[in-house]
C-alpha cells in the first residue's frame, strides 16, 4: 500500500514554490485543494481518481519532475517535487484548467506576516492556549491544517524560519512567540518536525519509549519564545507563560 505523507510540504508549480497540505491526499487532489477547488474523491474500494471516475483517463496528467504525462491522481507527494500543466495530455486537460492561476499571487502576498503570538493547532490544547493568553491581554493567531477548523493553513519550517500556506502560496511568518499545540504524545510528528526544524532540543524518553520535546513545567522548549502543549491544561500553562514573556519584553 502506498503511504501518503501526512504533513505540509513545499513543491513547485510552474516554477513557483507552493506549500501543500499533503495529509491523506495524492498529488492531484492536494494541488486542487491549494487552488481552492473541490476534488472528486473515490470510495475506499475504488481506484484513486479526480475527474474520470475510472482511474484510466488522462484528465489529471501533469508534467512531473521532467517526466511527461504522469497521472497525478495516484501519485504520492514528496518535498520539492516540480509540477507543470499536462504535458503530453495537453495543457487543457481537466486538472490543468482547474489549476490556472495557482502559480500567480496577488501583489505583496509574499510579504512576511508579523504576529505577536502564533499558535499552531486549533484543537483543545491550542484553544486553551489562545484563551489563556487572551485573558492576559495577548491576542494570538491560530494556524491549523485541518479543513474542518476553518481555512487550512499548514505550517512548515525552512532554514529555521516559520512558513505558512495561505491560499496555496508560501508566506514567511515572523512571530515573537510560538506555541506548538498539535500534541506531544507518541506519533505527533507534525509538532516534533516543526520543533526540530526550529532547533528545539528533543530527548528519548526510555520510560515512554519514544522521542519527545524537552520542556519545562510551563511548556518552554530550549529555544526562547517557543512553547509546546499537548492537552488543555498544558495549553493553558503555555498560553500564560508566553503572554507573560511577551509582556516582559514589550
Give the full edge-to-edge strand order of the sheet including 82-84: 16-21, 8-13, 82-84, 61-64, 67-71
Q: Does residue 244 surpass a pLDDT of 50? A: yes
- Structure confidence at residue 61 (pLDDT): 86
Residues 117 and 93 placed together within one structural domain of the fold: no
Please provide residue 127's backbone torsions phi and psi, each rounded to the nearest 5 degrees.
-65, -40
Highest averaged pLDDT of the listed ranges 35-39, 119-123, 229-233, 238-242: 238-242
Boundary residue ending a domain (67, 98, 129): 98
Residue 107 lies in a domain: no
Residues 73 and 152 placed together within one structural domain of the fold: no
Q: Kindly report the three-state secondary structure assignment for every residue of the chain.
A: CCCCCCCEEEEEECCEEEEEECCCCCHHHHHHHHCCCCCCCCCCCCCCCCCCCCCCCCCCEEEECCEEEEEHHHCCCCCCCEEECCCCCCCCCHHHHHCCCCCCCCCCCCCCEEEEEEEECCCHHHHHHHHHHHHCCCCEEEECCCHHHCCCCCEEEECCEEEEEECCEEEEEEEEEEEECCCCCCCCHHHHHHHHHCCCCEEEECCCCEEEECCCCCCECCCCCEEECCCHHHHHHHHHHHHHHHHHHC
CATH number for position 143: 3.50.50.60
- Structure confidence at residue 249 (pLDDT): 85
Residue 52 lies in a domain: yes
- Structure confidence at residue 91 (pLDDT): 57
Q: How far, in Å, are 60, 90, 93, 110, 219 from residue 216 at the CA level?
A: 49, 56, 54, 35, 5
The mean pLDDT of 27-49, rounded to a whole number, is 69
- Structure confidence at residue 107 (pLDDT): 41
Structural domain count of the chain: 2
Q: Does residue 228 surpass a pLDDT of 70? A: yes
Range of the domain at 92: 8-98
Q: Does residue 223 surpass a pLDDT of 50? A: yes
- Distance, C-alpha 146 to centroid of its chain: 9
Residue 64 lies in a domain: yes
Q: Which three cell numbers stand for residue 163?
A: 512558513
Residues of the chain above pLDDT 90, percent: 27
| pTM, entire model | 0.62
Residue 1 lies in a domain: no
- Structure confidence at residue 47 (pLDDT): 56
- Structure confidence at residue 5 (pLDDT): 41
Residues 48 and 145 placed together within one structural domain of the fold: no
Residues 118 and 242 placed together within one structural domain of the fold: yes
Residues 126 and 240 placed together within one structural domain of the fold: yes
Residues of the chain above pLDDT 70, percent: 73
Q: Which three cell numbers stand for residue 102?
A: 495557482
- Per-residue pLDDT band for 133 (boundaries 50, 70, 90) equals very high
pLDDT digits (tens, 9 = 90+) for 162-191: 888 665 567 788 999 999 998 655 545 567
Ranking 97-111, 118-132, 212-226 by mean pLDDT, the lowest is 97-111
Q: Look over the chain and give the mean of its residue pLDDT values, rounded to a whole number.
A: 79
- Structure confidence at residue 39 (pLDDT): 60
Amino acid at each position: 500500500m502506498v503511504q501518503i505523507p501526512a504533513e505540509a510540504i513545499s513543491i513547485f508549480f510552474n516554477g513557483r514554490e507552493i506549500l501543500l497540505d499533503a495529509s491523506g491526499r495524492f498529488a492531484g487532489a492536494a494541488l486542487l485543494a491549494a487552488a481552492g477547488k473541490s476534488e472528486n474523491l473515490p470510495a475506499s474500494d475504488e481506484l484513486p481518481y479526480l475527474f474520470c471516475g475510472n482511474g484510466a483517463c488522462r484528465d489529471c496528467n501533469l508534467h512531473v519532475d521532467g517526466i511527461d504525462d504522469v497521472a497525478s491522481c495516484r501519485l504520492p507527494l514528496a518535498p520539492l517535487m516540480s509540477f507543470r500543466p499536462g504535458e503530453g495530455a495537453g495543457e487543457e486537460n481537466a486538472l490543468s484548467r482547474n489549476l490556472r492561476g495557482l502559480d500567480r499571487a496577488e501583489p505583496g502576498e509574499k510579504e512576511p506576516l508579523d504576529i505577536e503570538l502564533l499558535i499552531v493547532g486549533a484543537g483543545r490544547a491550542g484553544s486553551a492556549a489562545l484563551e489563556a493568553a487572551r485573558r492576559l491581554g495577548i491576542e494570538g493567531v491560530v494556524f491549523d491544517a485541518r479543513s474542518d477548523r476553518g481555512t487550512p493553513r499548514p505550517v512548515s519550517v525552512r532554514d529555521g524560519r516559520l512558513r505558512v500556506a495561505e491560499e496555496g502560496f508560501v508566506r514567511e511568518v515572523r512571530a515573537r512567540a510560538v506555541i506548538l499545540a498539535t500534541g506531544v504524545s507518541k506519533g505527533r510528528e507534525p509538532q516534533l518536525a516543526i520543533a526540530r526544524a526550529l532547533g528545539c532540543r528533543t530527548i528519548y524518553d526510555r520510560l515512554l519509549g519514544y522521542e519527545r520535546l524537552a520542556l519545562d513545567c510551563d511548556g518552554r522548549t530550549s529555544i526562547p519564545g517557543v512553547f509546546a502543549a499537548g492537552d488543555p491544561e498544558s495549553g493553558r500553562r503555555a498560553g500564560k507563560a508566553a503572554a507573560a514573556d511577551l509582556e516582559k519584553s514589550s
